[in-house]
Amino acid sequence: MISTVLTLPCGVTLNNRLVKSAMTERISNRKYEPTKGHQQLYEDWALTGAGLLITGNVVIDRTHLESAGNVCFDDDKMLPKLKSWAASGKKLGNHIWVQISHSGRQTNRFGTARPLAPSEVQLKKLGLFGKPKAMTEQDIQNVIKGFTKAAKLAKEAGFTGVQIHAAHGYLLSQFLSPNTNFRTDHWGGSLENRSRLLITIIREVRKIVVADFPISVKLNSADFQRGGFSEEDSLEVVKMLDQEKIDLLEISGGTYEKLAFFLMNEEGSELKESTKQREAYFIDFAKKIRAVSKLPLMITGGFRSYDFCNEVLSNGEVDLIGMARPFITNREDISSFLKGELSHLNNLVLRTGLKQFEDAAEGGFYARQLIRFSKGKGLKTNMNPLWCSMFLVLYEFRKAMAKKLS
């Protein structure tokens, strides 16, 4: 099944069911444009044979970066560089989609001291995030225009689809969550109101890219926080998305405060045994989605064995298999995996031995690998875990200082 084609609702066909999910590249130039490093990365990933490559966070507002080195799709003048990036990702006839995002309150202090957000709810993690300003109506309209502008540029550049990021605690996820959206206007309160920004953006993007261009949404199954965006909320939003005729729904979960994709549940203990046995982190929630929606469905997180990927595809539990880290740790093996010549991909785990540093160590390790790959270098596994845990903060600081001095 993993090697079979999939035709999306808009009529576009993917060559197979394997997707490289979004991973932040952090390699833009000082003008927030793509570089030759992006071409290197995506040409190499295209050669794996994966049917779809989804870019890392592309932001719509350069004052609200998800990370230093993000590309910002906001200027027609960067089209030649965007075209080169898009072309590099289509070497074997595969698709390359742009993940469009706004970080909201998850913009760190190196980007802005007072980020915009639905409400003034500060993210308190390592002192890296300032108290946000509640968005005005004009701010919200600017975000809508920013998403549509980015989608327009993506299509003009030759990217073959877009993904609207409404998960992982970024701005659209912040609007969806009652923990971060205390608004009393038509953008807050009821779930219908909290979903309004996401639905409006989808509709406006569809007007720009028209009917035959894929639109995907990345949505949390839950925030895994008390009083936050719940599974029940998520299922209701899925029903709304079903009416908007999007082409793919990707399910994930968590925020910067609860990194569900690092194998932890809401109580902070390890995932339950049944989930471990079935590899994919959100596979149980996929069954609930199937009961309320006919949207093509993709899950990212945990997939490592060829037989299990084929099992869930054959059972109709998902339509696409999303992988991220294997496209770093097993990049050279992906083509063999797709052909069934390799039964299992490695699950590399980096540990410092200090619980408070584990998330940062994992994130830093993979960020460093991507930067190496963009320079044409190979995988380096013998990195110091503690140094990796400090890498992202130091990287943000260095980039911020370089920007001020330029």
Question: For 357-379, how does the pLDDT look when each residue is reduced to its tens digit (9 = 90+)?
Answer: 888 898 999 999 999 999 999 99
**Residue holding tokens 């959206």?**
181
DSSP letters spanning 152-167: HHHHHHT--EEEEEE-
Confidence of residue 258 (pLDDT cuts 50, 70, 90): low
pLDDT at 82: 98
**Tokens standing for residue 123:** 């993210």
Q: What is the pTM of this model?
A: 0.94
Average pLDDT over residues 246-262: 76
Residue 394 lies in a domain: no
Q: Residue 20 — φ and ψ, nearest 5°?
A: -80, 110
**Tokens standing for residue 340:** 């069934």
First to last CA, the chain: 51
Q: What residues contact 336, with CB distance under 8 A and at least 6 apart? A: 342
Q: How many CB atoms lie within 10 A of CB 93?
A: 9
pLDDT at 403: 77
Per-residue model confidence as pLDDT tens digits over 200-235: 999 999 999 999 999 999 999 987 777 889 999 999
Total number of domains constituting the chain: 1
Q: What residues contact 211, with CB distance under 8 A and at least 6 apart? A: 10
pLDDT at 27: 96
Q: Which residues pair with 164 in a beta bridge?
A: 100, 217
pLDDT at 260 over 90: no
Residue 384 lies in a domain: no
Residue 273 lies in a domain: yes
pLDDT at 288 over 80: yes
pLDDT at 112: 92
CA triple 148-54-8, angle to 5 deg: 80
The answer to which of 240-244, 250-254, 274-278 has the lowest mean pLDDT is 274-278
Q: Report the alpha-carbon distance of residue 19 to residue 282 in Å, rounded.
A: 16
Average pLDDT over residues 126-155: 96
Residue 54 lies in a domain: yes
pLDDT at 401: 83
* 252 SS3 class: strand
CA triple 268-273-275, angle to 5 deg: 85
Residue 357 lies in a domain: no
* 41 SS3 class: helix
Query: At 243, which CATH number?
Result: 3.20.20.70
pLDDT at 259: 58
Residue 227 lies in a domain: yes
pLDDT at 196 over 90: yes
pLDDT at 269: 39
Residue 395 lies in a domain: no
pLDDT at 279: 60
pLDDT at 66 over 50: yes
pLDDT at 376: 97
Residue 380 lies in a domain: no
**What's the domain range around 56?**
6-347
